Amino acid sequence: MKKVLSRIIAMAIAVILFAAPTATVSAATLPTLVMNVDGIKVYRYIPDPYSLSANQSLILNDTTTSDGYWKVPAGNKFTFNVTLSDNAVNQYQRVLVVGKKQGMITYTDISSYKYPQFNLPALPYDEEYQFWLVAITDLSVAGYDGYVRVD
């Protein structure tokens, strides 16, 4: 009986030790702000890309705001880019762009672009946007960026 109990305890300790690094890796996949200059904010998942399974979604937040929305002043255009990891061949995604004041703005077609880009028009009022990335197939997100511009 003592042998069985000691083996169970040994297995439990092994499971705990091997599970601990997994928790650390998943916690490390939060977006890291790497640039915030003149209306340009660039985020990267460091050290590893953020992996999504098919049918999972991810909100690509502006972590410098309390609610995660990207703030765009009236009269400014806004460009938002997503960067998928290098192994992004045959990975398909869809992006939902939501405007806080006017509700849903656009639900993009399914695409397999490694660098999907979204150009939002200038509006006569301040707007706040949220971007939802929906994985159609398994994919890895390396980062994203958004910038306000006047043309």
pLDDT confidence of residue 46: 92
**Hey, what domains does the chain have and what are their CATH numbers?**
25-149 (2.60.120.380)
Model pLDDT for residues 13-48, shown as the tens digit of each residue: 444 434 433 333 344 478 999 999 988 999 999 999
pLDDT confidence of residue 116: 85
Cα angle for residues 123, 114, 128 (degrees, 5° grid): 25
Distance, in Å, from the CA atom of 55 to the CA atom of 61, rounded to the nearest integer, reads: 19
The parts of the chain modelled with pLDDT lower than 50 are 4-28
Which candidate, 130, 151, 147, 148, places its Cα nearest to that of 73? 148
pLDDT confidence of residue 80: 94
pTM of the model: 0.76
pLDDT confidence of residue 9: 47
Q: Measure Cα distances from 80 to 15, 25, 34, 121 in Å.
A: 42, 27, 16, 12
The type of residue at 7 is: R
- Which residues, other chains included, contact 107 with Cβ-Cβ below 8 Å and sequence gap of 6+? 94, 95, 96, 97
Which candidate, 28, 27, 34, places its Cα nearest to that of 47? 28
pLDDT confidence of residue 67: 93
pLDDT confidence of residue 95: 87
pLDDT confidence of residue 88: 62
